[in-house]
Structure 1
């Protein structure tokens, strides 16, 4: 890839769309796994350009969105302690916990800092040896390796005042959980290219065969998405269900062995709760016993926290692909990016945020016109 414009070419997009229109003969429901792909789809109106028989369902691919409320509350509890410097990426600061968020903790005097890398947090720990420094480690297989490397470095450099609050999740068990749901309508998946660039394709063929669903690895630009849809629809129309790599410029079948080795050393697979979905077996990571001393949850004994999602928030249904964001009664009224009820509205990769940012006016136009006529 030389220029990103090559993957936003309108003429090539039209040719791909024409090809998709020419091959589709029946209704198909495809789920894009990644929240970044969701934002590309909504921003460029890709779902509106596809044949009406092709439905794109938004999956639980936003790392901020799936971080469970219990973990958010644990972060709030730790960040409120006077001896702690709590470090996080900026998109976590507005995610609502039970009654408050990290911004409110900071405004109340908590030392909450936005960093751009977990290594920034490690540097802060070195500069503040009398303070406890905690980094909020969330995300899928993409962000797990640098967080693992930071813990590895903390141990190697003997930095005792650093710890990691872990909420890492894995994509393949989530696909399995979606397909096992009685309400599942998904017939194929657009897999996340950046996840596969780390982990490779090894876990997907068994899922494609067991559930008889095509899984096509795609990137994040408009032409990436359209090519992924084209390959997926072609498989569905032919009755095929294989793993196809449409993102070869970034994804190798074996993934990144060095990153995988770091994950295997620092983390161990565990059951993990997903916000709005529940516990998915073997769908996450936690620090292995060898690195347990750097586990903030263990270090600060934040257990027994009772949480409850707002009754009016339907983000769990959005994350499972059962509901489009604008179909929620709170969308754009009691739930906005400024006052979010759930993480799907505040996250930069959340489906609700995408609809609010790129499609809010379209969704509200009919009611405005109706009121004008009256």
Structure 2
């Protein structure tokens, strides 16, 4: 199958691994972060750590949209879900993420509240039309990849004059998170990071140009990579060669899908509907300036935070008395790249995909889920 099988060729993978071993200088270490959770799962699924020399270390980044959403925002969604007039819709992984008091949207649904999993934001348009007497709220999450579909339903709902549809917007921005990671490194946190394996899907939307500040401002190279094993190995080789040469530039390994400027149509609709927030809280990174989107004033009547401000205010007053994250969970440190899943004493016992105690174990893109599914034996 073109663009799949040819990027999983075992003999080519061994050739790339040999080239990496030859290029990696024995007197130095290479610490490379794959930002995207999809890359993390590909790395373990295909056993790539076994192909790398010991001095080439992969760091798992915060590129998992379910993982990085802070518990406060999840609690807000659950407060909306408990309202008797609201049908809350979101993607499947969000249903199982534990909020304050180890509750979740799945548990709230079991209590009789109307929480629904959707495969596409467009499903919310149909629901709103089918239930004119109910308020449909789309709990929108994700990086730049999932933002345009949310923008589409906001524009569509506005054109249709739907008064019973709104969006609880939690879309976040990849470059801002990368700045946050590098800023924590600059502030003295024990994070060794020499280069980024840039995300694939996000980059098809925003292009490669937004990564230019990282080599220029921090001297940190970025190589955008596809999700197949040969993509990742080639990106690692490209980063090692840059570091050996003392260079720091943005390179694009994923040229079959990523351009310098990205998807213009997707970027335009995002720009029409959303604007950048002054700051936004991330799990693991704290409050990061200019790192998330909010709905523009033109569409503010479709903003759930505005429409249900009284519900969220009442929730904010009550939540002060409720416990927050599990204190033993290392998910925030894992998302920053400071720790790995097996550094968490909850990993595998009692925290498993069937009994997740943190968001990194819930999501299909979470680092803990990747270690559990693919890497537990290798790491033991």
TM range (shorter): over 0.9
Tell me how far apart the structure 1 counterparts of residues 66 and 250 of structure 2 sit (CA, whole Å).
27
Residue 128 of structure 1 pairs with residue 131 of structure 2? yes
Distance 1:50 1:363 in 2: 14
1:70 aligns with 2:72: yes
For residues 376 and 246 of structure 2, the distance between their equivalents in structure 1, rounded to whole angstroms, comes to: 37
Over residues 200-258 of structure 1, what are the superposed CA-to-partner deviations in whole Å (9 max), with x where a residue is unaligned?
A: 12221122111111100001111111111111111011111000010011101110111
CA distance in structure 2 between the partners assigned to 1:361 and 1:180 by the alignment: 34
Deviations 1:291-350 (A, max 9, x none): 111111221121424462211111000000000101111101121112212100110000
2-side partners of 1:311 and 1:3: how far apart?
A: 44
**Which structure 2 residues correspond to residues 1-374 of structure 1 after superposition, within 5 A?**
2-25=2-25, 26-99=28-101, 100-181=103-184, 182-183=188-189, 184-270=191-277, 271-301=279-309, 302-303=312-313, 304=316, 305-306=319-320, 308-364=324-380
Q: Partners of 2:374 and 2:214 in 1: how far apart?
A: 33
- Measured after TM superposition, the shift of residue 362 of structure 1 is 4.2
- Which segments of 5 or more consecutive residues in structure 2 lack a partner in the other structure? none
Return the offset for 1:133.
0.4
Mapped partners of 1:61, 1:228: distance in 2: 17
Contact 2:14 2:51 in 1 (8 A): no
Q: What is the CA-CA distance between 1:266 and the residue it aligns to? A: 0.6
Residue deviations 1:133-175 (CA, integer Å, cap 9, x gap): 0111100010011111111111011111001111111111111
1:59 partner SS? strand
Q: Is the 2:98–2:357 contact (alpha carbons within 8 Å) kept by the matching residues of 1? A: yes
Distance in 2, Cα, partners of 1:342 & 1:283: 22
Which stretches of structure 1, 4 residues or more, deviate above 6 A after TM superposition? none
| Deviations 1:83-123, CA, capped at 9 Å, x for gaps | 11111111111001112101111110011111110001111
Q: Distance in 2 between the 1:115 and 1:194 partners?
A: 20
Distance 1:278 1:154 in 2: 33
TM-score (norm 2): 0.93
What's the secondary structure of 1:255's corresponding residue?
coil
Distance (whole Å) between structure 2 residues aligned to residue 21 and residue 69 of structure 1: 42
Q: Which deviations, in whole Å up to 9, do the C-alpha atoms of 1:64-97 show, x marking residues without a partner?
A: 0001101110111111112111111111110011
Report the RMSD for the aligned CA atoms in angstroms. Answer: 1.2
2:59 is paired with a residue of what secondary structure?
A: strand
Structure 1 spans left out of the alignment, 5+ residues: 365-374
* 2:88 and 2:115 in contact (8 A); partners too: yes
Distance 1:3 1:196, change over 3 A: closer
